[in-house]
Amino acid sequence: MMPIWMEIVVGVLLVLSSLFALIGALGLLRMKDFFQRMHPPALASTLGAWCVALASIIYFSVLKSGPVLHGWLIPILLSITVPVTTVLLARTALFRKRMAGDDVPAEVSSRR
């Protein structure tokens, strides 16, 4: 049996996760171009995943009467992969805009 205060904490974390998902979806709708649309879903989905993972860790740790740490694997992997994916998508979009002849910032040269 789980204490009621622990169920409330888990429930609040799950509701927060859904609110982050909603905020990310609204950010997708409101932003005008691709570069602005990248940030809300990336940030919101990462925060939402952290909330769900934390709720899962708390819930199963209380049920098993001991720490359940394998739940940390998901948010850690998301924290690594989401920024990398976001940068790759941004670079691809910028490359496509350059190839189309759109007015975009010049390429930064790493040579000195």
Whether residue 11 is contained in a domain is answered as: yes
Whether residue 107 is contained in a domain is answered as: no
Residue 12: give the domain boundaries: 4-100
Cβ-proximal residues to 48 (8 Å cutoff; 6+ apart), any chain: 16, 17, 18, 20, 21, 24
Whether residue 109 is contained in a domain is answered as: no
Stated pTM of the model: 0.76
Task: Say whether pLDDT at 17 is over 90.
Answer: yes
Contact 40, 28 (CB under 8 A): yes
Contact 48, 17 (CB under 8 A): yes
Q: What is the pLDDT of residues 54-94, one digit of tens each?
A: 999 999 999 888 888 888 888 888 888 888 888 898 889 88
Quick one: tokens of 99?
């190839």
CA 75/CA 96 separation, integer angstroms: 31
Domain total in the chain: 1
